[in-house]
Structure 1
Amino acid sequence: MKPALFEHVNVTVSDPKKTAAMLVDLFGWHVRWEGPSKYDGYTVHVGTDDEYIALYALPKQDRPEQESYYRTGAVNHFGILVDDLDAAEQRILKSGLKTHSHQTYDPGSRFYFHDHDGIEWEVVSYA
């Protein structure tokens, strides 16, 4: 059996366009689609031609504890694979974000940062 491939994840953020712009700038991704979505919300799909993150927001987040679509940042972290860890970190630092928890382990190296919603991003390289 051919293994399934990961295509996308959907996360609630405060401002999908702002988060998408950050990801485009930091990782060279592009916006694949954007428009109205569930519960009168708005979604931006950002990533590559093969994988993406769906960034979702409600017009007003008034029920944060009811279901995942109402919880901003309801994930532990997203792992982003890059070829050049140092160059990626320089872009992140230049954008005003702080990096932390730098580690080298078998088989690679990584660090983390938090965005404007408090979502944690792991940046890893096996190069």
Structure 2
Amino acid sequence: MTAAFLEHVNVTVSDPRQMADLLVDLFGWRIRWQGEGKGGGLSIHVGNDDSYVVAYSQGGQMKAPDRYRTPGGLNHIGVVVDDLDAVEAKVKAAGYSPHNHGDYEPGRRFYFDGPDNIEIEVVSYA
């Protein structure tokens, strides 16, 4: 039996293109596919050959839940990078504020709140 791995995460956002563009810029990913999603919405798959994030929307504004208190809510998306400092500089240049920096065995990390207040953890094990 082959070991299991996470292929993708599908996140509802107000502007899929904004989220996809940010992920491409910060992490060097590419748009793997885009087109009509469930219910006539727009889905953009952005990532690499092995895994990706789906930025999905049916349009309109939604009230975001308190992510750490709502069952089924998305707490954050974790992304591993080689150069944490370079990605942090890109995050700042994109207008976002890194927070909750930490060194822990075996790596370093920070978080930032991206589009729609979706928290993204950036971690390096280098």
- Consecutive unaligned residues of structure 1, counting only runs of 5 or more, are 66-73
5 Å-filtered alignment, 1:45-56, equals 45-56=45-56
Q: Deviations over 1:36-68 (max 9, x none)?
A: 111111100000011000111013357x69xxx
Aligned-residue CA RMSD in angstroms? 1.5
Distance 1:116 1:53 in 2: 14
5 Å-filtered alignment, 1:1-127, equals 1-60=1-60, 74-127=73-126
Distance 2:52 2:117 in 1: 20
- Consecutive unaligned residues of structure 2, counting only runs of 5 or more, are 65-72
Percent pairwise identity = 53
**How many matched pairs?**
118
| Runs of 4+ more than 2 Å apart | 59-62
The aligned amino acid for 1:37 is G
Distance 2:2 2:35 in 1: 33
Output the TM-score relative to the length of structure 2: 0.88
Output the TM-score relative to the length of structure 1: 0.87
